Copies of this chain bind each other. A is one copy, B any other.
Amino acid sequence: MATNKAWTLAAYLSGLPSLDNFRLVEAPAPAPGDGEVLVKNLWLSLDPYMLGRMTQQKSYTKGVEVGEVMTGETVGEVVESKHPGFAPGEKVVGITGWQLYAAVRGEVLGKIDPSARFPLSYYLGCLGMPGRTAYFGLNEVGKPKAGETLAVSAASGAVGSVVGQLGKAAGCRVVGIAGGKTKCDYVTGELGFDACVDYKAGNLHRDLKEACPKGIDIYFDNVGGETLDTVLRMVNTFARIVVCGRISGYHAAEPYGIKNLGAVLVNRVRMQGIIVFDWADRYAEANKALAGYVAQGKLKTRESVLEGIENAPKGLIALVKGQNFGKQLVKLA
C-alpha cells in the first residue's frame, strides 16, 4: 500500500503564514469506500484564498480546522474506483487537498477530457478555477465594452493574467498592476496588455494616471487596500469594480482604511464581490470558452512550479509575498 503524505493545519493564521502553521503527516493511502475514488494527485494548486481558510473568521465557506488536511485543488489520476463513473487511469480535477492520495466521492471530481491536448496543470490555472473566476468576474460584473479601460491588479497572477487577456479579446485598453519590472515586462510583452504599472516603483497614482489617460471603467481587484484606494481616485462614471481578492489585507496587522469611497457615489460606481462558486452551474460554458482562447493562442499562461509536496507551505508563503510569477503549482508526481 502506498504511503500518503498530507499537510495539515497546525495552527490558525494570525498575520502572515509561516512554516509553523503547517504539519506534514504520513499515513497509508486511504482505501476508497463505496461510491468513492482513490486519486493519486499529480499537481496541487496554491491560491491566495487558502489564507482565508486558515483562520476562524466567518467566510464564504467552511475553514480548515486544526488537524485537518489543508484544502486545495488538485489534478490527479484515478488509481482505484468504487464509483461506476470512474476508471483507473482517468485524469480528474477536484478539491482533494494538500496530499498525495485522496479517497473522495466521485461526484466531487471533474473528469479531464482525454482528447484535449492541454497540459494537465492548466486545469488548475487558466482552464481551472482561476480562469473561471476571471471569466465570470469580468463578464458578469465587469461587463467590458470595446474601447473601455480595464485595470487589473496582480496582473501576472493566475486570475489577473486571464482577466487582462479576456479584456483584450473584448476590445478594452488593458492596464495591469504588478510588482516589479520583470512581471510588468511579461504582462505587456508576453500577455499583450497595453501597459503595466509597477506598484513597487512608488508612484502608483501618477503612473496609473499616465497609463489610463481616459480614466478607469473597470477595475478587477485582486489585492484591495491602497491599490483599490488609488484606483478609486480615477474611476469613470458608471465604472465597475470586481472585488475578487484582497491579498494586501493579509500583510497588515490593521486593515487598511479606504478613504476614497466617495467616488462610488459621485461616479455611480458598482462594486461587487465575486466568488466563482456562485456560477457553478455555468462552469461548462467557461471551460469551453477558455479552452477556445488557449487553443487559438489568445490566452497564454505562465506557471511557477515547485517540486514535491514538501514544498507546498513554502510556496504559499512565497505567494502571499508576491514572490511567485504566474500560476503557483506544486508538482506532486
Contacts A60-B237, A237-B60 hold; do A268 and B278 have CB atoms under 8 A apart?
yes
- In the complex, the count of this chain's copies comes to 2
Contact A268 to B273, CB < 8 A, known contacts A60-B237, A237-B60: yes
A contacts with B, residue count (CB < 8 A): 35
Q: Are B271 and A264 in contact (CB under 8 A)?
A: yes
Query: Does any Cβ of B come within 8 Å of A25's Cβ?
Result: no
Query: CB within 8 A of A262: which of B254, B255, B266?
Result: B255
Say whether A288 faces chain B, with CB atoms less than 8 Å apart: no
The reply on A291 being an interface residue by CB < 8 A is: no
Mask, A265-288, CB within 8 Å of B = 1, is 111111111110010000000000
Q: Does A261 contact B (CB under 8 A)?
A: yes
Q: A261 to B224: give the CA distance in the assembly, Å.
A: 9
A255 neighbours in B (Cβ, 8 Å): 259-260, 262
Chain A facing B: main interface SS: loop
A59 interface hit (Cβ, 8 Å): yes
Q: How far is the CB of A20 from chain B (nearest CB, A)?
A: 24
Report how far A263 CA is from B261 CA in the complex, Å: 15
Nearest B residue to A254, CB-CB: B259
* A245-260 interface bits toward B, Cβ cutoff 8 Å, 1 = contact, 0 = none: 1100100001111111
Q: Which of A200-244 contact B (CB under 8 A)?
A: 224, 228, 237, 243-244
Q: Which residues of B contact A267 (CB under 8 A)?
A: 60, 273
Residues of B within 8 A of A275 (CB): 265, 268
Is residue A58 contacting chain B, with contact meaning CB distance below 8 A? yes
Are B271 and A271 in contact, CB atoms less than 8 angstroms apart?
A: yes
Which residue on B lies nearest to A274, using beta carbons? B268
From A237, A265, A274, residue with most partner B Cβ within 10 Å: A265
A47-75 vs B, CB cutoff 8 Å, 1 = contact: the mask equals: 00000100000111000000000000000
Q: Give 17 A-B pairs besides A243-B264, A268-B272 with Cβ atoms closer than 8 angstroms.
A: A60-B237, A60-B266, A60-B268, A224-B261, A243-B261, A243-B265, A246-B265, A249-B262, A254-B259, A255-B262, A258-B258, A258-B259, A263-B273, A265-B275, A267-B273, A269-B273, A270-B273
